[in-house]
Structure 1
Amino acid sequence: MAFGIVKWFNNHKGFGFIESHEFDTDIFAHFSEVEMIGFKTLQQGASVVYEPMQGPRGWMAKNIRVIAAPATQDASTPVPVETKGSRLRTPQFRANLITQGL
């Protein structure tokens, strides 16, 4: 078993990379190797344990398990909001309008 931290993971494509503590290279991670119930994904910064395996294109992770979730952003830190003209570009804003009946 090897330990690492998720460098990035793309939910739409179903893969990403793990920064390995044991290897000098990043380890390929595919969603099919993530051991969890429900939607199989990895969050950037999560600590994971996995079985390294040499694949045809380099190292890949097998039997990936999350052992610690990534640190969350402090609630007191404001989240930047993108605007385009006068329109607010966040899904939360649109959801609030719908629930308020606007």
Structure 2
Amino acid sequence: MKGTVAKFNAKRGFGFIRSDQLDDEIFVHITKVDGRRALRPGQDVTFDVEETEKGLAAVNVVVKGAESSSRGKPVTIGIEEPKDRAKYFVIGAVILIIVVAAILLF
């Protein structure tokens, strides 16, 4: 099936596709997009439709003109790796210890 991205929230990883063949917009999650690329409103896509308990959802979504996911790295938008969070926590803890030590020494 062919359609156009109506809206997509890259931070939350989901949006909706408008199709000429269906009246309702179809839900799409970034995990169902080839290469897990974030979509942009207005992009032309091809996709299959799957019935879920919440309604129709797009699967096997491919952006028209985009390279296959086997050729490049997946793009993730707005998602921090857990190891990055741990690194910032350690840096914050060290700074806090230095500040407390400086206050106690003076």
Find the aligned partners of 1:68 and 1:40 in 2 and give their Cα distance.
Answer: 13
Q: How far did 1:12 drift?
A: 0.6
Structure 1 gaps, min length 5: 70-102
User: Which structure's CA Rg is the greater one?
Assistant: 2
Report percent identity of matched pairs.
35
Summarize deviations over 1:61-102 as a string: whole Å, max 9, x none. Answer: 001000158xxxxxxxxxxxxxxxxxxxxxxxxxxxxxxxxx
Q: What TM-score, normalized to structure 2?
A: 0.59
Q: Does 1:5 align with 2:33?
A: no
Identify the match of residue 45 of structure 1 among 31, 36, 42: 42
SS in 2 for 1:4: strand
Structure 2 gaps, min length 5: 67-106
Q: Which amino acid aligns with 1:26?
A: E
How many residues are treated as equivalent by the alignment?
Answer: 66
Q: Does 1:19 align with 2:27?
A: no
Please provide the CA RMSD for this pair.
1.4
List structure 1 segments (4+ residues) > 6 angstroms apart after TM superposition. none
Q: How far did 1:16 drift?
A: 0.1
| Residue 54 (structure 2) aligns with | 57
Find the aligned partners of 1:48 and 1:68 in 2 and give their Cα distance.
Answer: 9
Find the aligned partners of 1:7 and 1:62 in 2 and give their Cα distance.
Answer: 16
Q: How far did 1:57 drift?
A: 0.6
Q: If each structure's strand is expressed as a fraction of its own residues, which one has the higher value?
A: 1
Q: Which amino acid aligns with 1:24?
A: D
Q: What TM-score, normalized to structure 1?
A: 0.61
Find the aligned partners of 1:68 and 1:35 in 2 and give their Cα distance.
Answer: 12
